[in-house]
Structure 1
Amino acid sequence: MICNQKSALTTVATAAQTVTANGFVSFPTNNLLTGVSIKHPAGSTSVNLIQGLYLVTLNADITPTAAGDIGLNLIRNGVAVPGAEATVTGATGDTYNISFATLLRVLPSCCVIDNNAALQVQATAAGTISNVSLSVIKMA
């Protein structure tokens, strides 16, 4: 019997997906989804978090459509999370592995303030994303 299991999510997209500049990565498969503080319908681009401290990690292969900078950013409620990004200067057709990790605090909500966090992974330039894994663990 598993009791009081912390909320955790690992969601993946192993198949290649083409993403436009400023487009969001979709995650079709939830390998693990436990607890009640993290919500992610398989196939969605958004992960929803309620009150707590979370560790968020991302690992992905990225192939730029054109030479130049390309990367992935973590977006929280429509705003880029400082430091939660990975960028490479790439050549057209070459594949690069990128990753980042960050801690996020989600404050409690009340009847007049909704502090829940909606997270998305956004591409900074057009490219193909594959073998992407996003993990979110509620620490406290």
Structure 2
Amino acid sequence: MPQLAGGAHHALSIGELSDRSGVAPSALHFYERNGLISSERTAGNQRRYRRDALRRVAFIRVSQRVGIPLKDIRAALDSLPEARTPTKRDWSRLSRLWRAELDARIDTLEHLRRDLDGCIGCGCLSLKACRLQNPEDNLGSAGTGPVRWKPDPTE
């Protein structure tokens, strides 16, 4: 295999990285455009990835699978010393940081599920009383009538 700058051997082509990681080349290009992975170019202008890109891609995929937005994944990877590949210890630290956000999302979804069951039971979808459309009757303080629609003053 070609040698990358700095003496690193065993660089992976995009096809090899795709095959080994199970991630489509288009997704790898997307990750690279968004600063999640990086490549170097050969003399023939072909991308070559260091072998540690496999672990970074695995980290990205697992993070996405649990619902972490790409901007947060990038920030996590950028927080690592010298942009190194995440270790098991890094994953433990980052997952503790993300746990509160995930717990909040779970609580929101459980609340939505409870309200949805109630809404299906009544079937009214009342803008005045529906807990999905009008949580905690926040619209009641705006008075009667169509409070969600605001006319364009220039019309």
Same fold (TM over 0.5): no
| Greater radius of gyration (CA) | 2
The interval holding the TM-score normalised by the smaller chain is under 0.3
Question: Would you tell me which structure has more helix in proportion to its own residues?
Answer: 2
Higher relative CO (Cα under 8 Å, sequence separation at least 6) belongs to 1
Question: Would you tell me which structure has more strand in proportion to its own residues?
Answer: 1
For normalisation by structure 1, the TM-score amounts to: 0.21
For normalisation by structure 2, the TM-score amounts to: 0.19
